[in-house]
Chains A and B, each alone.
Chain A
Amino acid sequence: MLAVVDYGIGNLRSAQKAFEAVGEDAVLTSDHATILRADAVVLPGVGAFGRCVDALEASGLRSVLGDVLAEQRPFLGICVGFQLLYEGSTESPGFSGLGVFEGTVNKLTGPVKVPQMQWNQLDRGANDATTLLRGLGDRPWVYFVHSFAPPVSDVTTATCDYGGTVTAMAGRGPVVGTQFHPEKSGPIGLAILENFVAAAKGELPWS
């Protein structure tokens, strides 16, 4: 069973429906025990970084997710849920993220409109190590809506070009995240979720 973490932030139905579409039993839940029992945990998120941190703390889910991450359970962060895996964000100074990836999330820069609200192509990292993009060809198209993004670092697995090189995916072992919305990226997005599920079940290696 896969748990989509419901912490009162944004529209979580899309993520749940997308997992159901690839044949995965996905529950939308804020129940601590259910999340701790799940085979894989998905953390969506929209809006301001600080508001998401507040919501995680208010619901007691911050420590639950900390336990899930410490156990190296399969974990997928989406959009701001991905950003929450980092230490913090210049969007909300003073708010600490979950801190499993190093670095601070920053505002998009360059001669481009912010937010990026469009489809864009993924550029695979030099080592092309991520299983999530397995079978998806050279530069797959995915849908982004964001004003901030994590820094490019050693955990970055794919980037996109938007006023510069922007982190689009990152991962270390079973803890992965996407700045774009796989649940809204058509058949390519569904294939990414399917790859996540397969890796979470041990059918594919993480990298």
Chain B
Amino acid sequence: MRVPRVIPCLDVHDGRVVKGVNFLDLLDAGDPVELARRYDLEGADELVFLDITATSDDRSTMVRVVEMTAETVFIPLTVGGGVRSVEDARSLLRAGADKVSVNSAAVARPGLVAELAEEFGRQCVVVAIDAKRGDDGYGVVTHGGRRPAGLDLVEWLETVAKLGAGEILLTSMDRDGTRAGYDLQLLQLATTTIDLPVIASGGVGTLDHLVEGVTTGGADAVLAASIFHSSEFRIDEAKAAMRDAGLTIRPSPYRGQ
């Protein structure tokens, strides 16, 4: 039985959840621990925290947020943003994270993926990839989409799979913040290139988009941020829409309590 996961993503800046379009114009969306609790109650299958400040001064802020979350929320928690070393990952895992996500640090030094997999097991290692459509297929970008990494997406997927990635968080930087839906071609390309679980990210505006990510895109999990933070849709509403579309989903365990 295949059960797609619904994952709210919390972009954390200076200890607060923010939302913004293409990482610009950040608006405050609340306290990460409180939001994490709310999403757990609504039936979120996992949580992703991305530290978008990610300067060394702020690491301790994120560690505290993870610690407080892990004391009350017992679903898988992935934390990323600024993880550059095994030690960075260790401090987050010690605080209660279950997986760490690496993005530009892996682009800069692919060996980091292998080091993390060796130290913590590959199920702990999420490689986040920001992809952008180019003239010859998809390329990898970093720095919020501003900087081309000079890597072809397919090659990069194969490289990180070989190095020890356990899961791929794939964001379309063309769609991110547009609410136009996931880039389904991008998802299809990734899910047919590698066997690893793929989390779809970037562009969700409606609940149908979540369904498409799984049915057409082949994603194993669907991630969204602003539609949930704005309370436009609750997680349980998203899951009801997916169930109505014929997908098997996990209901909120708190229902009826």
- On whether the beta carbons of B40 and A186 are closer than 8 Å, the reply is yes
* Beta-carbon nearest neighbor of A191 in chain B: B253
Residues of B within 8 A of A113 (CB): 2, 195, 197, 220
Give the contacts of A44-58 with B (CB-CB under 8 A). Answer: 46-48
Question: Are the CB atoms of A141 and B123 closer together than 8 Å?
Answer: no
Query: Is B94 in contact with chain A by the CB < 8 A criterion?
Result: yes
Stretch in contact with the other chain, from A9-17, A33-41, A89-97, A149-157: A9-17
Task: Convert A104-128 into 0s and 1s, putting 1 for each residue whose CB lies closer than 8 angstroms to a CB of B.
Answer: 0000000011110111110000000
How far is the CB of A143 from the nearest CB of chain B, in Å? 6
The answer to the question of B74 belonging to the interface, with a C-beta cut-off of 8 Å to chain A, is: yes
A189 to B93, CA, bound (A): 20
> Which residues of chain A are within 8 angstroms of B253 by Cβ–Cβ distance?
141, 186-188
Bound together, the chains give a CA A141 to CA B45 distance in angstroms of 11
What residues of chain B lie closer than 8 Å to A119, measured between beta carbons? 3, 5, 45, 250
Q: Does A21 contact B (CB under 8 A)?
A: yes
Q: Which of B217-257 contact A (CB under 8 A)?
A: 220, 250-251, 253-254
Residue from B5, B166, B195, B254 in contact with A118 in the complex, judged by beta carbons closer than 8 Å: B5
Complex alpha-carbon distance, A145 and B96, angstroms: 17
> Roughly how many angstroms separate A183 CA and B75 CA in the complex, as a whole number?
8
Which one, A17, A162, A185, contacts B96 given CB within 8 A? A17
Contact call A46/B120, Cβ cutoff below 8 A: yes
Is A13 within 8 A of B121, CB to CB?
no
**Using Cβ atoms and an 8 Å threshold, which residues of chain A touch B71?**
17, 21
Q: Contact between A186 and B75 (Cβ–Cβ < 8 Å)?
A: yes
| B139 CB, min distance to chain A CBs, angstroms | 26
Contacts of B250 in A (CB 8 A): 119, 141
Scoring B4, B74, B94, B123 by chain A CB atoms within 10 A of each residue's CB, the highest score goes to B74
Could you say which residues of chain A place their CB within 8 Å of the CB of B45? 118-119, 143
Contact of A118 with B3 in the complex, beta carbons under 8 Å: yes
Which of the residues B4, B122, B254 comes within 8 Å of A187, measured between beta carbons?
B254
Q: Is there an interface contact between A13 and B93, defined as CB atoms closer than 8 Å?
A: yes
Please name all residues of chain A whose beta carbon is closer than 8 Å to the beta carbon of B76 when the two chains form the complex: 143, 145, 181, 184
Per-position 1/0 for A19-33, Cβ under 8 A of B: 001000000000000
Q: How far is the CA of A11 from the CA of B75 in the complex (A)?
A: 14
Interface: B51 (CB within 8 A): no
Q: Which residue of B lies closest to A22 (CB)?
A: B74
A117 pairs with B74, CB closer than 8 A: no
Decide if A161 touches B1 in the complex (CB within 8 Å): yes
Most B CB within 10 A of own CB, among A119, A121, A183:
A119
Asked if B124 lies at the interface with its beta carbon under 8 angstroms from chain A, I say yes
Q: Which residues of B contact A47 (CB under 8 A)?
A: 120-123
Chain A interface size, as a band, is 35 or more
How many residues belonging to B are interface residues under a CB distance threshold of 8 Å? 33
Q: Mark B77-109, 1 if CB is under 8 A from A, else 0.
A: 000000000000000011111100000000000
Q: Does B183 contact A (CB under 8 A)?
A: no
B2-A118 in contact (CB<8A): yes
Q: Which of A180-201 contact B (CB under 8 A)?
A: 181, 183-190
- Determine which of A115, A121, A160, A184 lies in contact with B98 in the assembled complex, contact meaning CB atoms within 8 Å: A184
Known: A46-B121, A184-B98, A187-B253. A118 touches B93 (CB 8 A): no
B75 in contact with A184 (CB, 8 Å): yes
| B130 located at the interface, meaning its Cβ lies under 8 Å from any Cβ of chain A in the complex | no
Say whether B74 contacts A184, CB under 8 Å.
Answer: yes
Q: Are B74 and A189 in contact (CB under 8 A)?
A: yes
Decide if B176 is an interface residue (CB 8 Å cutoff). Answer: no
A18 beta carbon closer than 8 Å to chain B: yes
CB neighbours of B220 from chain A (8 A): 113, 117-118
CB distance from B161 to the nearest CB of A (A): 13
Does B154 have its Cβ within 8 Å of any Cβ on chain A? no
Q: Are A13 and B94 in contact (CB under 8 A)?
A: yes
Task: List the B side residues contacting A186 at CB < 8 Å.
Answer: 40, 74-75, 253
The 9 listed contacts between A and B (C-beta, < 8 Å) are A13-B95, A17-B96, A21-B74, A47-B120, A112-B2, A115-B123, A145-B76, A185-B74, A187-B254
